Amino acid sequence: MQDPSELYSFEADTPLGDLRASVLLVSLGGFVDAGQTQRQLTDHILATLPHTVVASFDVDQLMDYRGRRPVMTFDRDRWSSYADPSLLLYRVTDADGEPFLVLYGPEPDYQWERVVQAIQKLNRMLGVTLTVSIHGIPMAVPHTRPIGRTAHATTPKLIGEHESLFGTVQVPGSITALLELRLGESGYDSLGFAIHVPHYLAQAQFGDAAVLGLESFVATTGLNIPTEDLVATAGLNRAEIVQEIAGSEEVSQVVEALERQYDAYIQGREKPGLLATDVRDLPTADEIGAEFEEFLRTQTDET
C-alpha cells in the first residue's frame, strides 16, 4: 500500500499542537443518506459556527469522475465554471470555544483502506479520541410519529442501553462503516447514528431527521451547537410535507397505514399480552432488515 499520508496535505502552517481537537464528525456523503440528513446537519454546522480548513484530500486519486460527473456550466458559447469536488477536513469552534473537526466531502470511490489509514493517522496527530458519523436510512415509519434512530459503536459503553430493530444483516459497505470497524479493531472509540426516515421521504429533504441527528451529536459529545436555524428550517419543511401529502390521496393512505402499524407496535410493547394477535402482523426485525438490504441493493444498482 502507498503511504496514506500522501493522500492529504495541510492547508496552513499552524503547528499541529494548535489544531488539536478530541472529536471528529465524518460526513462522507455515502450512497444512502435518506432525507438528506447528513448533508443538512453538516451544512448547518459549517454555516453556524466559525471554521477553517485544516487539510484537503487529493480527490483525483479517490474519485470516479465518469461514475458521478461533476457539474460544469456552459454559458452560450463557452464553459464558464466547474464544480470542483473537494474532500476537506475542517476545524470548527463551538459556541463555547471548544474545537472539533469535520471531515466533509464525497465518499471516495477508490483506495478505501488507504483513506481509512490516512484518517486514523490524522486522528492521532490531531488528538481525536472520538469519531462520530450520522446519516439517514429509509424505514417503513410515518413522519407524524416520533423519529427513531439506530445507534452503533465500537464498544457498547458508548451508546449504553439501546434497542435495535435489526438483527444480523449484510448490506453493501461504505467507507464510513469501514472506518468505524477499523477504529474499533485498533482500540479507538467510534460511534454512529442512523436516523429513521420515512421511506416515502427518502429522496426528499426531511428536516426533522437532521434535527435529531444534530441533537444526537450534541448529546454524545457535549458540544454547544446552536440548533435554532435548523429547527426553524425543519418546521417550514414539515409544513411543506403536510401540504404535499394532503394533495395526494394515495400517499395519505400510505401514511395512515403506517400510523396504524406504528401505533399497534408501540401499544404492543406496552401491553404484549392483550395485543399478541396484532403484533404478529407487524414486520419482524429480520423482515425490516431484509427490506433495508433490498433498498441498498437498488441504490447500488442505480449508482
pLDDT at position 88 is 98
Number of other residues whose CB lies within 10 A of the CB of residue 121 = 15
Which of the residue ranges 37-46, 55-64, 225-234, 238-247 would you say has the lowest mean pLDDT?
Answer: 238-247
Closest Cα to residue 118, out of 26, 18, 193, 17? 26
Chain centroid to CA 97: 25
Residue 273 is predicted with a pLDDT of 47
The average pLDDT across 196-218 equals 95
pLDDT at 172: 87
Angstrom distances, CA of residue 144 to CA of 38, 190, 198, 245, 252: 21, 31, 10, 11, 11
Q: What is the pLDDT of residues 88-142, one digit of tens each?
A: 999 999 999 999 999 999 999 999 999 999 999 999 999 999 999 999 999 999 9
Neighbouring-strand partners of residue 288:
none
> Is the model more confident about 189 or about 282?
189
| Pair type for strands 130-139 and 189-198 | parallel
Interatomic CA distance for residues 242 and 200, integer angstroms: 13
Phi-psi region of 198 (alpha: psi -120 to 50; beta: other; left: phi over 0): beta
CA distances to 183, 264, 282, 284, 291 from 257, rounded to whole Å, are 41, 11, 12, 17, 17
pLDDT at 261 over 70: yes
Q: Which of helix, strand or coil describes residue 120?
A: helix
CA 234 from centroid of its chain's CA atoms: 17
Provide mean pLDDT across the span 158-177.
84
Q: Helices 175-185 and 112-126, interaxial angle, to 10°?
A: 60
Categorize the per-residue pLDDT at 284 as very low, low, confident or very high, splitting at 50, 70 and 90: low
Question: Residue 13: what pLDDT?
Answer: 83
Strand bridging mode 23-27 / 130-139: parallel
* The Cα angle at residue 34 between residues 7 and 89, in degrees rounded to 5: 25
- CATH class of domain segment(s) 4-238: alpha beta
Pairing mode, strands 51-57 and 88-93: antiparallel
pLDDT at 275: 40
- Give the pLDDT score at 251: 87
Q: Determine the pLDDT at residue 271.
A: 60
DSSP state of 36: G
Flag whether pLDDT at 290 surpasses 70.
no
pLDDT tens for each residue of 54-76? 999 999 999 999 999 999 999 99
Looking at residue 278, what is its pLDDT? 43
Half-sphere exposure of 65 (CA within 13 A, CB side): 11
Within a 10 A sphere around the Cβ of 252, how many other Cβ atoms?
12
